[in-house]
Structure 1
Amino acid sequence: MDRNTIIGFLLIFAVLIAWQQYNKPIQEARLAEARRQDSLAQLQQQDSLNSKELDAFRRQMPPEEAEAGDGSATEAAAATESNEGHGMDAAYGPFAGAAEGIEKEQVLENDQVRITFTNKGGRIKSVELLQYQRVVVDEKHKEHKEPLILMANPQNRFSYELQVPAAANKFIRTEDLFFEGQLEGRSLIFRAYADSAKYFEQKYTLPETGFDLQYELSWKGLEDIVSPSQDMLSLMWINYLPKLEKSVRYEKTYSTIYYKPLGEDVEHLSYMKDDRQTSEGRPVEWVAHSNQFFQSSLIGREEAFSFGEFAVMDLPEKADYLKKCETRLDIPFKGKQGFSMSWYIGPNDFDIL
């Protein structure tokens, strides 16, 4: 072959290579589009179509193609929302509306204490004793003073149990409900509504000075909601005692639960080991979850609690808290419209309880 023939073959070969490279992206795009269309068709044909998958696929389309969809994603999303609503109704019965919400905090404060409340359960979330501090020793054995705060562990619980036949589990716990909070002067009122005329209320009133917090429990219209067999309102209180003193071991030996049976002397659980006791059928005037020098106490003001069950559990030395305290109290419910209590959260002074 002469020189011109060789050059001609080389040019033809170069053109073929260029043509293949030019068409390769187009072919790949067509294949990808075909795969996408096939997958979309399969998704749309599934009886249990997942709306999120379909939405994700349609987000890959040009806007005009996405708008041309058959509406399956919208219908699936609406069905999901409807099912969630029915699920809430089934789980909480007439209190379904109170089972959804956003947690909010509100504060009552005087010259002695600053009490933070949460609308989730309508309970105390933390208490700062403004005239006291705790001593903390760091890794370099240097002492630091920090605010002294009680009842602040995220695992703490304070909840009442209502027997509600219309609820899925036949009961609801107030810790699962979002209460509507209303501040009126030195009082904070929490209500969980079943409807506009039926509610469960917790009212806290803090005087201008002191460690006492008045606590009023009331309910309205619940006789049509709770089981007619519910004679007692069960209260569960779980409280982790914080480390407040430099000597953790010494503090632990003086931290436990105290309680006072009606008309009798004060009793307490073990200081040194895990312990569990009941009031043995006796009404209980008050119960205190107590550190060495500070306590959180719940007191029946006009009437004693019908029954009490108590447990204290020692926590490992490296844990952030000293002990776990559990209390269950029965409150007269049937035929009642409320129950009057008070909190004392401050330095130990059992004589005033």
Structure 2
Amino acid sequence: MAADETPAQALAHSVDLARAAEESGYTRVWYAEHHNMARIASSATSVFIAHVAAHTTSIRLGAGGVMLPNHSPLTIAEQFGTLATLHPGRIDLGLGRAPGGDRAVFAALRRDPTASDAFPQDVLELQAYLGDESRVHGVEATPGKGTHVPLYILGSSLFGAQLAAQLGLPYAFASHFAPAALEQAVAAYRAGFQPSEQLAEPYVIVGANVFAAASSEEAHEQFVAARRSRVRMMIQRGASAPSYSDAEIDAFLASEQGAQLADMMRITAVGTGAETRAWLDAFAASLGADEVITAHGALAPAARVSSLRLTAAG
């Protein structure tokens, strides 16, 4: 959300973006799970997917992703089984191992940080609930059983890549904000892939930020403003925190200390629609990726919609 934007406005703008994506020919839209973040209204993932599905007609919608340690596998199977029953052939379920919050959030969710250790087993239990035969005697997901909602493993490290390979699931790498292990993770996934009932061959999805505008100069201005905003949100926490000027943020990003934050948005296409489309095509080709998930990060909602449309038309 922008600093002056309410959750209601942010969610409405997200619906507008999904509609524009559908009209522009995008394959899918995914929503992440975050908790206790004042500038991010994406906490009740399945609820919002249902809302967007009711305001679109054909585009696939999914979680990118549900942070499974925050939930029981049965709960997620029932939620996404319900979504798939209401909107057949349109629902995806991306799964992550990160908590999507801090220890206070875990406590508030009545979960334990060690829940992450059970992620591989929880994925298998969830998959079975959505399949034809539960792994838990006497317990079935209704709705859910037999829907075969496709699962995707999300990650930014070798762990997710290796698990996706072992389970024979598609792998989506979060290179739009954590690109450090991108090449290594994709290589590990392909090397260890074992075919499954869902997937015969490796399927790689990579993330990229996109800032497309009518001119390269305008796109660059949008990128600079968005990066400053993201960094400011990370380092300026709490009402009593000092307020940093644009010049101070830029100086921090140019410093050794700020290099890691600057690198978070290294995988970014900036330019006109044609320029961003060419950049994305080259990026996907360099990794042999099957799909690119684009995160259009302009601060103004209208600029995000424009970026999405320009990239599709490019």
TM above 0.5, yes or no, is no
Structure number with bigger Rg? 1
TM score, norm. by length of structure 2: 0.24
| Structure with the higher strand share, 1 or 2 | 1
TM score, norm. by length of structure 1: 0.22
Greater relative contact order (Cα < 8 A, sep 6+)? 2
